[in-house]
Chain A
Amino acid sequence: MLFSDISFLYYFLPVVLLLYFMVPGKYKNSLLLLASLFFYAWGEPRYVVLIVLAIVCGYSFARLIDCYRGSWKSRLYLFFSCLISLGLLGYFKYATFFISNLNALTGWQLLVPKIVLPIGISFYTFQIISYTVDVYRGQVEAQRNLLDFATYVALFPQLIAGPIVRYADVDEQLKSRRITWEQAYSGVTRFIIGLAKKVLLSNVLAELCTAFRSTQDNSVLFCWLYALAFCLHIYFDFSGYSDMAIGLGKILGFSFPENFSYPYMSRSISEFWRRWHMTLGSWFRDYVYIPLGGNRVAPARWVAHILLVWLLTGLWHGAAWNFVLWGLFFALLLIVERIGQPLLVKLPAFLRHAVVLFCLLISFVLFNADSLSTAWSDIGGLFGAGGLPRATAEAWYYLRSYLIPLLLAILGCSPLPVRLYQRLHKRFATGSGFYLLQSILLLALLLLCTAYLVDGSFNPFLYFRF
């Protein structure tokens, strides 16, 4: 079930929210857990066992780590906890990729397993690892209540596509939560805006990407149009989902971390990664990069660490070579950026911004290619490789047809709409009238999204495959 499914919006969510606000506080976590497992089972009935197993392992090992704190056994249990979590992730996500590449490399004929990737496994595995490591480090206390821990891992708003919520972020809220009207209103607002980002912008731009993929009349213009559309599509897809997750969290009384902060406004690649999928970036920083030594190592070792972290980041996004190259491409950019820092800071801001956007366009073209040959062909197409014509009637048609959605999406990537809202809010939000009017606009947005969903067929979330 996706947040932008009719079955979620008009069947699952209203029932869960009604029950949630009706049951006494001590039963809320139980209800949330049941609802979350139902939500998960709706998409992956067979893999509910897997997530339950992961939860039980995470819970048990954290208790053992806590119990044997200070002794070597604590470290041993942490090791086993990580081994099991990463083992499950490795098997379900990477076994096919690894074995098929091994076969290709050695000429062996090992049986390549056909494994369906469990939804959200990358997200909940990372949450469990961060929890056990934090318990080991003494940064959080081990949760004694299995139900509360299971609620943390399986909580449906963030279960299948993040943000990657650390246990410390919600530890207190798992015990008790107070929901104010303001919080609920803000949650509903955030959810509907996320839905609109997903349905009205991301899905629409995805149609343009699909048109590019099916064209027999490619051109340089179409390649650039595609690159731009995909960059915007993936941003609105993922940030829309994060907005919905954060909004739902607020409605339920949780405060989830932000995941995006205008990443396309960045003037450096390192800034981009502080603004894009922030919870993943901070996870790799805190649990891989810094334990390896962070910045405080010799340059050669630092380069090796950067390469490793970004190789893992690429692999986290998918078991395919284009993701590996995508990660390494960012590693390369970050290394170059650090070496060239003295020169880069002297460049005008708009030029640095343009360079970053150019690199991101290339990176996302690589990201979305289903094979390396497609990636080279798409990237080459941007520069007219293979004798592509500069533009065709078809490319012009799509440019005209998608001009308004593209412009709206570009505007939506900037902080301008929020600044405008803040200005209006400051001036007019004195009583309930402002919020009533805002609610009417939100309702209109919800109905428009519903109309798109009822009529449309394209609605997958990109980050479900991770």
Chain B
Amino acid sequence: MREQAKYLPGLLLICLLWLGLSLLCWFKTPQASSISERRQLAQLPQLSASTLLSGSYMRDFGEYALDQFPLRDSFRRLKAASVFYLFQQKDNNGIYLVDGYAAQLEYPLNESSVLSAAQHFTDLYNNYMKDANVRVYLSIIPDKSYFLAAQHAYPTLDYARLFTLMQENMPFATFIDIRQQLDVADYYRTDTHWRQECLLDVAQALAEGMDCGPIATQYEEEVADIPFYGVYYGQSALPLDSEEIHYLRSPVLDACTVYNVETGSSGGIYALDKLESRDPYEVFLQGAAPLLYIENPLADTSRELVVFRDSFASSLVPLLVENYAKITLVDTRYIASTYVGEYVDFTDCDVLFLYSTLLLNNSAVLK
């Protein structure tokens, strides 16, 4: 018996902790969403004969158990730390860290996706712009890996090929190259997106490319009073430092109104209430929206611009506003391209296709 007793303390320790964690699993109040992962969490599924027999209850319960695991964020951080520091792996969930920047492994080049995006834009051009006396431009936003991956021996997209494919397959559009105006410091460390306060050069290049002349506005830089944790913060699950969101103001920007066609609501360029939301980047032009009209009452021109865009444009387009009376932003991830003509008048306007390499390489979301 005495010989047996030596196993008891260790066994009790393991059993008590195991049981404790199990009790927490059983009795913890479920959370609706995860702030760090920016998503809804699975809830306890409905129990019924049909869900049981089909096995969907068991599958959903598995997801519930994972999503609602007690101290989930801490466990995710433990895993990320062991991946990076114990096992010396180079990425966690496809996110890698270099020079304090978290970036997504985005490779290989999905040529069919790029060609499909180009075809999507060509269809839009043929349907709405071909006979409308428009000036069409194309600009491609490199993601952070463009600056980081190859330099630090991470697998990388064949960016040159991507840019060539887009230009070759959109011969109706004038290409405006903004790569020279960007470097990695122009992006948030913990997020996919670029920083508005660093985009004046890019806006200048685009304005010149679209024959608008130099941007003359002097902006005032404001700092949002919240810590910003970008999307890679949650995905990497590492304790990265928070960042600041800066946004630029000017009398022109303050005078502009933004009309959201989907919700029927109007507001300013910056939706400051969104700073408290799950994704504070939505402060720029209210975040994801299928169709927005920006009207500039102080414009000394009647020029109009239509931008086909992804989320990167939200922070950039306000910087183009001084040269236009109206800018229409169309995001065909959220509106089918067949409906675009009902809301957008293309007559005699500038059209800019402004997309990130991330979207072009994953273009199945375009409708």
Contacts and interface: CB of A to CB of B under 8 A. Distances in A.
B27 to A, nearest CB: 12
Given A454-B75, A454-B79, A14 B61 contact: no
Pick the most buried of A192, A204, A454: most chain B CB atoms within 10 A of its CB: A454
A104 B107 CA distance: 39
A132 to B, nearest CB: 31
A405 interface: yes
A204 B10 contact: no
B108 A217 contact: yes
Interface string A207-240: 0000000011100000000000000000000000
A405 B89 contact: yes
Interface string B1-18: 001111111110111011
A436 interface: yes
A443 B109 CA distance: 43
Contact of A185 (B11, B75, B237): B11
Contacts of A215: 108
A33 interface: no
Contact of B65 (A10, A14, A181): A10
Contact of A181 (B7, B22, B75, B108): B7
A454 B24 CA distance: 15
Nearest to A449: B79
Contact of B76 (A5, A394, A454): A454
Contact of A396 (B7, B11, B55, B153): B153
B263 interface: no
A269 interface: no
A404 to B, nearest CB: 5
A15 B26 CA distance: 11
A45 B155 contact: no
A182 B4 contact: yes
A211 to B, nearest CB: 9
B91 interface: yes
A216 B62 contact: no
B224 interface: no
A181 B8 contact: yes
B98 interface: no
A275 to B, nearest CB: 27
Interface string A428-466: 000110111011101100111011111110000000000
Contact of A431 (B6, B17, B58): B6
A400 B90 contact: yes
Interface in B43-93: 52-53, 55, 58, 61-62, 65-66, 69, 72, 75-76, 78-80, 82, 86-91, 93
Nearest to B80: A455
Nearest to A396: B153
B87 A185 contact: no
Contacts of A443: 13-14, 17
Contacts of A431: 6
B23 to A, nearest CB: 8
A451 B108 contact: no
A439 B66 contact: no
B154 interface: yes
B19 interface: yes
Contacts of A394: 107-108, 155
Contacts of A188: 11, 14-15
B90 A397 contact: yes
Nearest to A450: B75
A217 to B, nearest CB: 6
A402 interface: yes
Given A181-B5, A393-B155, A454-B75, A436 B108 contact: no
B25 interface: yes
Nearest to A441: B10
A403 B13 contact: no
B22 A10 contact: yes
Contact of B7 (A43, A432, A453): A432
A297 interface: no
Contacts of B93: 455
Contacts of B26: 11
B52 A45 contact: yes
Contacts of A452: 79, 82
A261 to B, nearest CB: 25
Contacts of A10: 18, 21-22, 25, 65, 69
A7 B59 CA distance: 10
A401 interface: yes
Contact of A403 (B3, B5, B75, B88): B88
A217 B76 CA distance: 31
Contacts of A404: 86-89
Nearest to A430: B6
A358 interface: no
Nearest to A405: B87
A451 B79 contact: yes
Contacts of B89: 204, 401-402, 404-405
B158 to A, nearest CB: 10
Interface of A: 1, 5-7, 10-11, 14-15, 18, 42-46, 180-182, 184-185, 188, 192, 204, 215-217, 393-394, 396-397, 400-405, 408, 431-432, 434-436, 438-440, 442-443, 446-448, 450-456
Closest A-B pairs by Cβ, 3 of them: A439-B10, A451-B79, A185-B7
Interface of B: 3-11, 13-15, 17-19, 21-22, 25-26, 52-53, 55, 58, 61-62, 65-66, 69, 72, 75-76, 78-80, 82, 86-91, 93, 107-109, 153-156, 237
Given A404-B87, A432-B5, A432-B8, 11 more contacts: A10-B25, A46-B53, A184-B7, A432-B6, A432-B9, A436-B10, A446-B18, A448-B79, A451-B76, A455-B75, A455-B76
8 contacts: A7-B58, A14-B18, A182-B3, A185-B7, A401-B89, A408-B87, A447-B75, A451-B78
